[in-house]
Amino acid sequence: MTVDVEDYFQVSAFEPYIDKAAWNRIPCRVEANMDRILQLFAERRVKATFFTLGWLAQRYPQLIKRVVQEGHELASHGWDHVRVAKQTPAQFQDDITKTKALLEDISGQRIKGYRAASYSIGANNLWAHELLADTGHEYSSSIVPIRHDLYGIPDAPRFAYKTAEGRLLEIPITTVRLGGRNLSCGGGGWFRLFPYAFSRWAMTRVNQRDAEPTVFYFHPWEIDPEQPRQLGVSAKTRFRHYLNLNRMYPRLVNLIDDFRWDRMDHVFLGDANANTR
């Protein structure tokens, strides 16, 4: 179970509409949404991995400390949601180094995992895996093995594999194989688009037929149908961002009840005890 900790105005789809310089002036909703998520996880005894923006961690250190105190894994989502495809190797290294250091300083927890903004590690920038390993990350969850207009490597392995000469584990978002193609069933907008019965069937199929764990992700803003609506966005962006927000939380509850969930480092690194630096 993974959560990409970013607020509604920080998503990549809103980049053309919301100036990053205005972020400090926009009221954040992440605290209230995270409180709801953490309460749900506590009630259902779920442990998860929270891929967190450095920008938010710097402003809400108590929230970060709460995540760790409640037994969850803290991981990096980069500093301010810049896609890797828009960064040079030097800029990317600075971004991940800065974020990792801040998260470790606030939490007292060694940061092992990273997830790229909008899954933006692709076929043309696999050098990012080398830099993640160089900077002390143990795993990445930044690739979706599907064909998509914004991200994805369709022919990438569907399940966890070693990269960067064996120094880094890449853990792709879960897909189900149907009709000779991969279909995402690992969360986000896909989880809101498809009926819940399909998502449950697809994850069960991966567990049983492929004998693999599933990687699920969502964002705090996805359980917040009352978030401010952005004006002037394209029809595609409006559809992708706002579709079925009112159905997300009850579907999430069903998902948690129907499967067993844990942190990424526990499931994929076998690291059930080493939670601190």
113-156 confidence digits (pLDDT tens): 999 999 999 989 999 999 999 999 999 999 999 876 666 688 89
CB 276 within 8 A of CB 66: no
Cα torsion 45, 195, 244, 234 to 10°: value is 130
H/E segment holding residue 242? helix 235-242
Domain segments of the chain as ranges: 2-174+215-268
96, 20, 105: which is closest to 53 by C-alpha? 96
Amino acid at 104: E
CB 164 within 8 A of CB 121: no
SS3 187: strand
Q: CA 168, CA 170: separation in Å to the nearest integer?
A: 6
pLDDT-based confidence at residue 271 (cuts at 50, 70, 90): confident
Amino acid at 7: D
Phi and psi (nearest 5°) for 162? Answer: -80, 145
Q: What CATH number matches the domain at 2-174+215-268, 3.40.50.300, 3.20.20.370, 3.40.50.10800, 3.40.50.970?
A: 3.20.20.370
Per-position b or e across 177-213, b if 16+ CB within 10 A of its CB: eeeeebebbbbbbbbbebebeebbebbeebeeeeeeb
Q: CA 54, CA 96: separation in Å to the nearest integer?
A: 9
pLDDT over 80 (residue 40): yes
* Cβ neighbours, 10 Å, residue 173: 26
pLDDT-based confidence at residue 93 (cuts at 50, 70, 90): very high
